[in-house]
Structure 1
Amino acid sequence: MRSRVSWIAVTLVTLALAALAPRSAEAQQATFPDRPIRMVFGFAPGGSGDLAARLLADIASKVLGQRVVVENRTGANGMIAAEAIARSPADGHSVLFCTTGNMTIITELPGTKLSVDPATELSAVGQLLRSTFGLVVRQQSPWRTTQDVIDAARAKPGTLTFASPGVGSVQHLSGELLSQKTKTSMVHVPYRGSQAAILDITSGQTDFMITNLGDVIPHIRQGTLRLIALGDPLGRQFFPDAPMIGDVVPGFETYAWFGLCGPRGLPPAVVQRWEEAIRTAVNDPQVSRKLLDNGMVPAFQDAAGLARTMDENRRGYREVIRAANIRAE
């Protein structure tokens, strides 16, 4: 009898604990965040991406009720930061301020050694902004339209040069995409960073560059560079009357984005809280003004939207990379 009573007691306790388990999980999600949060960015302080991360962190601190600290962990084209977040608990207290490059290009670039796979070990949380692109030439260039650039490339195959801040950058793949879609032969000239590339365009060492407007708007306004056309419609926030590259080259579109990613398996309730924080930042007039002043366009996407964008980016970049036989240096 005593044995039977003990068995019944154990069974009742087990059933009670099982009933409470889901509530405990829900309670944990409901209390997010319960401590300070770190937002890891894979590049050095001082750039436009770092500025955007800190703007988001300030707003998120208010929305979430906990301090959000930006941590710069540089190296390996942003992959050291990506690995740190992929290895973190999936509770929302550690997130990655992620970019086009370290979430979509690096996964498709042969020769890249990845410590983690962003496509499977990280997940989208939401997009904060787009970095819109444009085709620029030096002010003294005879070219004034996209068609002029294409005609020049066809007239002298293999001689027209386009600059980029490095192999596998969005700028590099944008130039390759233009070459592929127009069936022309152009020469890629990689530099160590955007400023060195822009300097050589203004001095006539290279012919053109398709790059983010944030880096070249001051040069365009000062008259040292000429904007030929835009890579996506959001660029009309800055240059309302500028034509699109896609007007001449059907299907051409290029841009970069910044947003938040997290470890795989983030609870939906945590993702929703972060989406709220990102949306609030995008709708904040001061944040929007600071982003626009630095050549970036506030552009919210929820987790599902950013996940679709990343899938589309990977497919598109994979095609360009394979067609041009690009490998990591």
Structure 2
Amino acid sequence: MFSNPTLDVPVRPRRLRTSGPMRALTAETRLAPANLIQVLFVRDGIDSPVEIASMPGQYQHTLDSVLPEVQKAIDAGVAAIDLFGVPKDEDKDAAGSVAWAEDGILNRAIAAIRQEFGEQIVIIADTCLDEFTDHGHCGPLSTDDFGVVSVDNDAAVEAYCKMAISQAKAGAHTVSPSGMMDGQIAAMRAALDDAGYSHVSILAYSAKYASAFFGPFRDAVGSTFTGDRKTYQQDPANRRESLYEAALDIEEGADMVMVKPATAYLDIIREITDFSPVPVAAYHVSGEYAMIEAAAAQGWIDRKAVALEALTGIHRAGATMILTYYATEAAGWLNQR
């Protein structure tokens, strides 16, 4: 008769995997609702929410419909929302000036949410111009002596400062410049302080890559953009550059720094976390969301399990804050564990 004698194996890591409670007891990473930031879009000129075709389950909201979404996030324990504005096409111009207009869609949305919810949730405002310019770039364009057209760095920074002040005035707790312009953090910090908003924090997009994962986002904000942003966003091949950019932003006064996208850049999240004295965020972007949704729709993956695994991996890499379209839903899943 065949027998299977016990092996002489004194070290058995499987002992700590024997049950759900044991695995929970020994888990090294604990993703929680408070680690999550719900990304929301508010669009001007619509009467009801519009589903984003390339991001199933995500919507461009009205000023009225966004409020219940914020309430859902609060009820689920989500720590913050990140708010993007989508203006009418006729309100866009070369400078993106509706971005800092008091009656612009983003500032109206910030004000409505702050009035309704006060300090119940952190309101992060996207502080960039790509949604507001008629050309879709993250700042005004200029042409050099050789006919090369590019984003005017310093003019863009000046616009970000005006935008940040208007967002702070509307009620944003945090402004979040994503344009990757040189010197933007120092200039915005000085502008906010001079305007009496020293209490408003800055979440810097310190390591934002010129990524193909951003594709569906352009549907979400109705972007008119063509071309690429390789002259101001980072090359996906580069690592040291991200560390340098993050260090510069921290030196200039960033209260938090971010890596975007997330899952293809876990090494960058970890390396920045290892030296950063400020919290590190990561943005689980539209393309990452869309790929999970598309595969799940085909029945190829378990949607919930894969989404939570992706978010846990981002947290494990070092991100204490994760901007994600799954935030409220994922928080609900975590609350049921």
Larger Rg: 1
TM-score w.r.t. length of structure 1: 0.29
TM-score w.r.t. length of structure 2: 0.28
More helix, by proportion: 1
